[in-house]
Each structure stands twice: as C-alpha cells, then as structure tokens.
Amino acid sequence: MWKISVFSNFFSFLFVPFQAYVVVKTHIHCSRRYSDRCNQARQVSISERDI
C-alpha cells in the first residue's frame, strides 16, 4: 500500500515541472515563430468576447 502512495507522490512531483516546462516551451515557441498568428488568434478571441 505504501508503495502506491510513494509512486503517486513521485509522479506528481515529476509532473509539475514537466507541465511548467511544456507551458514555457509552447509560449516561447509561439512567441518566436508564430507571433503574428498568435496575435491574430488573440485579437479574434477578444473581438468575439466583445460581440
């Protein structure tokens, strides 16, 4: 029983930095290569919200 809890704690401990890494990587990738496309998507979402 304790092995399962240790494994789940270890998995959650690994998952948090991995999630942060994925978010940062996608943000950097988006801002570098697809900045125009990201800005267009942002403007579209803002205009849809105003409507």
DSSP string, the chain: -HHHHHHHHHHHHHHHHHHHHHHHHHHHHHHHHSHHHHHHHHHHHHHHHH-
38 neighbors 31 (Cβ within 8 angstroms): yes
pLDDT above 90 as % of the chain: 0
Q: What's the confidence (pLDDT) of residue 5?
A: 84
Residue 20 confidence (pLDDT) above 80:
yes
Q: Which of 5-9, 25-29, 44-48 is the least confident region? A: 44-48
Per-residue pLDDT of 30-42, as tens digits, reads 666 556 665 666 6
The token pair that represents 15 in the structure block = 């998952």
pLDDT band at 45 (very low <50, low <70, confident <90, very high): low
Domain locations along the chain = 17-51
d(CA 51, CA 35): 24
